[in-house]
Amino acid sequence: MSEPSGGPQQSLICVVDDDEDVRSSISSLLRSVGYRVKTFAGPQEFLASDAVDTASCLILDIRLGEADGLEFQEELVAADTPIPIILISGHGDIPMTVRAMKAGAVNFLPKPFAEAALLAGVREAVSRARQKRSEADRDHSLRVHYESLTSREREVMGLVTAGLMNKQIAWQLSLSEITVKIHRGNMMRKMQAKSLAELVRMADALGIRAPSAAQPNGGRRDPPTSQP
């Protein structure tokens, strides 16, 4: 059975199951289609490894001797560990499946499961992991750009994304309009924003909110306009 191109060898799949035969079987299947695989007999063994930070998918048995796979899944979610999880069990039921899916599991597979079903779940998990890492990288880059702004440039960014024009910003900050334009240009360059719409999306992602007094006509009079 073949996997689509796209570099499965770049993805690490972890298997946590207390049954050595199950671990070996799943590992052989995944390696046969190009994935890297690490196996563990229990949650603590997995947590003690470096795979926690690099895995693209965790295949987790629900019954692990004295450990509970569902509880371990929920602990990982609570700790904000971004590993997509596939739960497997020879003793699953509907309430257990619902609980697992509500906690964010990619899939819940009853044993014995078809190879195709497991591989499909792994593909979905790897896709989710890549998306999460891409979003995390983008958010980090955005934060780095924002932290490079001066305090004045941050003020200008907040007011620009609140919808104020340069003349209004100049009035709010007691600056000349030319100075505002300079700050605005520097801010757009540092944020690598190509348009106002893109800058607004960045501000939303960063959680930037201008004070209500900075909203257009938000409690402060507009700057005076020249008379003809």
Q: Model confidence over 174-211: pLDDT tens digits?
A: 999 999 999 999 999 999 999 999 999 999 999 987 65
- Model confidence at 220: pLDDT above 90: no
Answer whether 73's CB lies under 8 Å from 105's CB: yes
Please check whether residue 3 lies inside any domain of the structure.
Answer: no
Residue 86: strand pairing partners: 59, 107
Please tell me whether residues 28 and 133 are part of one structural domain: yes
Q: Which pLDDT does position 3 carry in this prediction?
A: 44
Please check whether residue 133 lies inside any domain of the structure.
Answer: yes
Please check whether residue 224 lies inside any domain of the structure.
Answer: no
Identify which has the larger pLDDT, 227 or 79. Answer: 79
Please check whether residue 44 lies inside any domain of the structure.
Answer: yes
Strands 67-68 vs 12-16: parallel, antiparallel or unpaired: unpaired
Please tell me whether residues 173 and 127 are part of one structural domain: no
Task: Provide the CATH number for the domain around residue 204.
Answer: 1.10.10.10
Q: Over pLDDT 90: what percentage of the chain?
A: 64
H helices of the chain, in order, are 20-32, 43-47, 69-78, 94-102, 115-147, 151-161, 166-173, 177-191, 196-206
Which residues, 6 or more positions from 117, have their beta carbon under 8 angstroms from its beta carbon?
107, 109
- Model confidence at 32: pLDDT above 70: yes
**Cα 156–Cα 140–Cα 131 angle in degrees, nearest 5:** 125
Please tell me whether residues 51 and 106 are part of one structural domain: yes
Please check whether residue 100 lies inside any domain of the structure.
Answer: yes
Domain extent, residue 206, equals 148-214
- What pTM was estimated for this model as a whole? 0.66
Q: Model confidence over 100-152: pLDDT tens digits?
A: 888 888 999 998 899 999 999 999 999 998 888 888 888 899 999 999 999 99
Please check whether residue 220 lies inside any domain of the structure.
Answer: no
Please tell me whether residues 189 and 129 are part of one structural domain: no
Number of domains comprising the chain: 2
Q: Model confidence over 40-79: pLDDT tens digits?
A: 999 999 999 999 989 999 999 998 888 889 999 999 988 8
Q: Which pLDDT does position 210 carry in this prediction?
A: 64
Task: Provide the CATH number for the domain around residue 19.
Answer: 3.40.50.2300
Q: Which pLDDT does position 4 carry in this prediction?
A: 40
Cis peptide bond upstream of 112, omega within 30: yes
Q: Model confidence over 158-170: pLDDT tens digits?
A: 999 999 999 999 9
Please tell me whether residues 131 and 178 are part of one structural domain: no
Please tell me whether residues 89 and 175 are part of one structural domain: no
- How many other β-carbons are positioned within 10 Å of the β-carbon of residue 207? 6
Please tell me whether residues 123 and 38 are part of one structural domain: yes
Q: Model confidence over 91-105: pLDDT tens digits?
A: 767 788 888 888 888
| Mean pLDDT computed over every residue of the chain | 87
Q: Which pLDDT does position 9 carry in this prediction?
A: 59
- Model confidence at 223: pLDDT above 80: no
Please check whether residue 64 lies inside any domain of the structure.
Answer: yes
Domain-ending residue, one of 80, 107, 137: 137
Structure confidence at residue 81 as a pLDDT band (50, 70, 90): confident
Domain-ending residue, one of 137, 164, 191: 137
Please tell me whether residues 120 and 154 are part of one structural domain: no
Alpha carbon distance 29, 108 (integer Å): 18
Please check whether residue 190 lies inside any domain of the structure.
Answer: yes
Please tell me whether residues 129 and 199 are part of one structural domain: no
Q: What is the mean pLDDT of residues 25-53?
A: 95
Q: Which pLDDT does position 2 carry in this prediction?
A: 43
Is the C-alpha dihedral spanning 15, 19, 20, 22 positive or negative? negative
Query: What one-letter code names the amino acid at 75?
Result: E
- How many other β-carbons are positioned within 10 Å of the β-carbon of residue 195? 9
Please tell me whether residues 130 and 165 are part of one structural domain: no
Please tell me whether residues 40 and 111 are part of one structural domain: yes
Please tell me whether residues 58 and 153 are part of one structural domain: no
Domain-ending residue, one of 137, 170, 202: 137
